[in-house]
A and B are shown apart, each in its own frame.
Chain A
């Protein structure tokens, strides 16, 4: 039988975001795969050079809807290093708390997505229902479910009250119980095992050569974690384990993520029970530098790295972002090869890809060059008009 090439994406029902995989098939088996990216480029890095440091916090937070705190923290740490700002301990603790809550929400989201890709919708519904608890915690602290806006240069913008801390501890206790149940599901449920074991193999030496990061690398036995290797915030004061696994497959990546979530609960408890007293921010001048700094941060998906160059004005000279997904995409063709077409989607989902992070950046109206702000009603009206023109009837 001759080989055929099929495109998977950029628009495909099984993919959540625009990315393209060219798969070469021999029957059901994938013999070659290439990844094509860049369908989502928004020009964030250029935009960041044209905004001041404070405005950039909000721009960079919007690089990603899931690990928004990761990107801002990474950027802000680089800026504070150049400005030589001494961030108070309490601010660092609150940043760590939000970071771990974010990891919990991201990993629970991933578990749901992975279950959905396997056709295991019960687990998808369960995890997403429980994830609401951690989103409630984040909303209580920051006022927002996803873009928390908690960071500012020199500290954090909101303090945590005693009542909030107690409420979070209560919710975390519930989530800890639920996640313990998911550990059982992931490691024992026959459907889950059948679809994930020996799928998307990434041996340790290949993971090292392809510079995989985060849970993807740790599931291949690569013992790396920026939180331990290069501690930032208050991670050096926390007691936590770096979870690794040696099965080198999709199953391992699932196990690493659920066990990491449990570690996050332990960290959240430690932070809230020993929250240092004191101020939550220090003043930092608007004009920063000159100087340059690079910062590494363990986002839920792995190592996030930002480079900032300051020139002494209130605008940065250069901001560079490399999200973990771009690093992990290097290993996807290897994982797909020799696998089956039916496993392609879960293999791709197993690195927890996040395209908005990877492609980055600015949206404006191409057609007229006009910049228009829609409210909800306006947007709805526009979409109805749009479909009416296409011949769809609205009664």
Chain B
């Protein structure tokens, strides 16, 4: 029988309970597997499980704990991750038909880091086909459902991780973010989602979508859980040429120290022009943004309006050019040999990427440094963190956001990455935090953006908000 109290514990709580031997790893793993079997199909979020291996590893974890041995802060904790993190000998289908039998011969660096911290890898979660899309639809493996209301999208491309964590089927999960694929589903499902600084976390052994924009990070139910997982997976990796050396961070020691005198920027226009960064925001989302800013003010932070550099307005388009060109290059052989095996939306986006010239691609890469420099100077010399929406509209239903059934939604689809993709382009760390509910009863989140490698500041700011604005998850019965 499923122990719901055990399932609803946070990652930090279950880790502590294991260390104190209040519960055994075998009990936790069995409970997770039962939950996944019982409720996983209703959310359609599970790609595959490794039950025998999980139970064997849990037995070992318990034996070690009884001998006074702990592998690390996640000793004996079961986790599931997006179906794009490779482990030698295990299928990584990447949400596709094309890779449904793909068995990698390497293990992702982030999984090895979690192994070293004592975590148990018990399965994979569904995702958007090849991580290319923000709504969570998948024509190949079926649409993942939102635990808050199964008629609504969970967001993508880390759709399975978001649904599983919000639905108490995993204590946390790794996702990837190339245009918003961690923060967008985190916002749709009421989770905390971290997209770290570009180069902070190794991408080795993770399915590539666009190597210049791909980021890996966690989705969790609390800020402390997110800080803990991020702390474990960061670090330079010689297997990833884009990973940078940075001093070893400590995301947890100052997480409770408050935000008095912190200066929070709210973006207004691009330079002196008439275009506003927040112009496309739905009034209900705007309401939740304002409520969250009121909380920050009450905590002693100073909230100021800040114009964004004029050139920032093209960052979304530049990111789309880079993602289009790099993903189409990666998929060129399959596009040529088996185009019919892609879902139509994925194929359409990959087709677009084939049409960019080399000059367009290089211009987009070269402009990145100029726009980043201007952004650091004009924004982060004036404020400590930036506050912005994540999803511009209330979470839509699966039906209304299905382009095939509702072609008119295409106008919204183009806008969906407006607030997330620019920060993938600049490579700045960004943390999605639950703000409140829109009128349809679905969550809406804000994101906090910081200068490069300032993730600790984001966790401290978000934790202050979380304490003042505690969040609870719906106990939705999907039986």
Chain A bound to chain B = no
What is the interface of chain B, defined by CB distance below 8 A to chain A?
A: none
